[in-house]
């Protein structure tokens, strides 16, 4: 399977020129990274340009959170944090309510997005194609982080085991989602010899909350979701626990990775990191929303180690990180 950005919104030539990485005029190690980037230190993410003319220091920073649910919910949830980031960086901060993963990646790739939280499955494509440099994830107070992929159904579906999905309909969220497509596809094929299109009818809901709602309302026979999203929906009384039944729960995966685009000025990237790690969650709008899934702090992480299992799932699925 090949994930590419050909069908995404076209980026302006000027924006792409401004984003041209250190690799444009010289040969450099880059691994799976796009030709615009270098990875001299081998950490699998794009190096910050050494040519100062390629560095960005915008007056207004654009922030986006992965579109797992209604963006309006998260504009409110992130408001206290973004006020804090404004104080730390001295920059105006604008929340960008992206509608899908592909648009989010393309926004960063074209220079219209500076700080972002990309979902688990989108991180490798954002890193390799958009110059995303993730450095933190959310965790519980005791340092636990991550979520599980669950396959859920409704009580009247006639499905009680994973094998019962054969001949039925299974909802995915999007092809860039780890728990909403990549992981369940690999698990269903590798553990159960169930392949989309051959053994069951795949449908795409667009987002995890759409899948959860679709299953709960009996629009889909079953669905693959991130259980952290479902838990927050239950806590907000969007659905009732008895409306869904879980028939599979995966190993724990890393959750949304937060970071910056590679070519912000190093001092600005440091200030942004400071904003994440100095934020006081207690009593904040961020705590109010994310404590519903047990997340109440930011912890340091690195893409090379934390996303190793996700890159292996991509390899199992035959995914290539094509940027054109």
The pLDDT value given to residue 69: 64
Find the mean pLDDT for residues 275-291. 96
- Topology, domain 147-253: D-Maltodextrin-Binding Protein; domain 2 (3.40.190)
- The CATH superfamily assigned to 2-143+254-321 is Periplasmic binding protein-like II (3.40.190.10)
The confidence score (pLDDT) of residue 81 equals 98
* Paired tokens of 296: 């109440």
> Whole-angstrom Cα distance, residue 208 to residue 196?
18
Could you tell me the CA-to-CA distances from 321 to 65, 315, 316, 317 in Å, in that order? 21, 10, 13, 12
The Cα 313–Cα 265 span in angstroms is 33
> For 240-262, what is the mean pLDDT?
95
2-143+254-321 shares its CATH topology with 147-253: yes
Q: What is the pLDDT of residue 26?
A: 52
Kindly list the domain boundaries of the chain, sorted by start residue.
2-143+254-321, 147-253
161: left (phi over 0), alpha (psi -120 to 50) or beta: beta
In angstroms, the CA 29 to CA 35 distance is: 10
> What is the structure's pLDDT at 176?
84
CA dihedral sign of residues 233, 68, 46, 315: positive
Average pLDDT of 111-135? Answer: 96
pLDDT at 9: 39
Q: 152-178 as b/e, with b when 16 or more CB fall inside 10 Å?
A: bbbeebebeebebbeebbbbbbbbbbb
* Long-range interactions of 72-79: CB distance < 8 A, separation 24+: 72/97, 73/289, 74/289, 76/285, 76/289, 77/285, 77/286, 77/288, 77/289, 77/290, 78/285, 78/286, 79/285
What distance in Å separates the CA atoms of residue 115 and residue 129, rounded to the nearest whole number? 15
Q: Mean of the pLDDT values across residues 59-83?
A: 88
Average pLDDT, the chain: 90
As a dihedral over the C-alpha atoms of residue 10, residue 14, residue 15, residue 19, rounded to 10 degrees, the angle is 120
Query: CA 303 to CA 32: how far, in whole Å?
Result: 13
Give 141: exposed, middle or buried? Use CB within 10 Å, 0-12, 13-18, 19+.
Answer: exposed
Record the pTM.
0.77
Instruction: Tell me what pLDDT residue 11 has.
Output: 35
Token readout for 218 is 């009996």
Q: Between 13 and 104, whose confidence is greater?
A: 104
Neighbours of 10 (CB within 10 A): 10
50-66 pLDDT per residue, tens: 999 999 999 999 999 98
In angstroms, the CA 79 to CA 142 distance is 25
Q: What is the pLDDT of residues 287-312, one digit of tens each?
A: 999 998 899 999 999 999 999 989 98
> Which CA distances in Å does 289 have to 118, 183, 231, 236?
18, 26, 11, 9
> What one-character-per-residue DSSP string does 3-65 give?
E-STTSPPPPHHHHHHT--GGGSS----TTS-TT---TT-SSSPPPPSSGGG-B--SEEEEEE
Give the model's pLDDT for residue 320: 83
Dihedral sign from CA coordinates of 88, 48, 113, 104: negative
């Amino acid at each position: 399977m090949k994930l590419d950005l050909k069908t995404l919104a076209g980026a302006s030539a000027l924006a792409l020129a401004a984003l041209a990485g250190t690799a444009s005029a010289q040969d450099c190690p880059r691994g799976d990274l796009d030709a615009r980037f270098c990875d001299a230190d081998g950490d699998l993410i794009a190096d910050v340009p050494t040519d100062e003319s390629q560095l960005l220091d915008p007056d207004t920073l654009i922030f986006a959170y992965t579109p797992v649910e209604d963006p309006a919910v998260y504009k409110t949830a992130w408001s206290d944090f973004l006020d804090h980031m404004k104080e730390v960086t001295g920059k105006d901060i604008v929340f960008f309510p992206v509608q899908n993963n592909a648009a989010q990646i393309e926004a960063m790739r074209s220079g219209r997005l500076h700080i972002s939280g990309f979902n688990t499955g989108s991180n490798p494509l954002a890193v390799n194609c958009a110059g995303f440099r993730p450095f933190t994830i959310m965790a519980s107070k005791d340092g636990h982080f991550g979520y599980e992929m669950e396959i859920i159904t409704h009580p009247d579906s006639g499905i009680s085991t994973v094998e019962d999905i054969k001949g039925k309909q299974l909802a995915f969220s999007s092809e860039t989602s780890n728990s909403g497509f990549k992981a369940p596809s690999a698990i269903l094929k590798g553990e159960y010899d169930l392949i989309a299109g051959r053994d069951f009818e795949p449908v795409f809901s667009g987002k995890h909350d759409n899948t959860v709602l679709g299953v709960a309302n009996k629009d889909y026979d079953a669905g693959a979701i991130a259980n952290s999203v479902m838990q927050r929906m239950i806590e907000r009384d969007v659905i009732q626990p008895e409306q869904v039944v879980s028939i599979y729960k995966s190993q724990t995966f890393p959750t949304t990775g937060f970071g910056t685009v590679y070519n912000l000025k190093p001092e600005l990237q440091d200030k942004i990191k400071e904003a994440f790690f100095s934020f006081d969650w207690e009593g904040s709008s961020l705590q109010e929303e994310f404590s519903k899934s047990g997340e109440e702090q930011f912890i340091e992480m690195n893409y090379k180690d934390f996303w190793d299992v996700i890159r292996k799932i991509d390899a199992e699925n035959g995914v290539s990180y094509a940027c054109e």
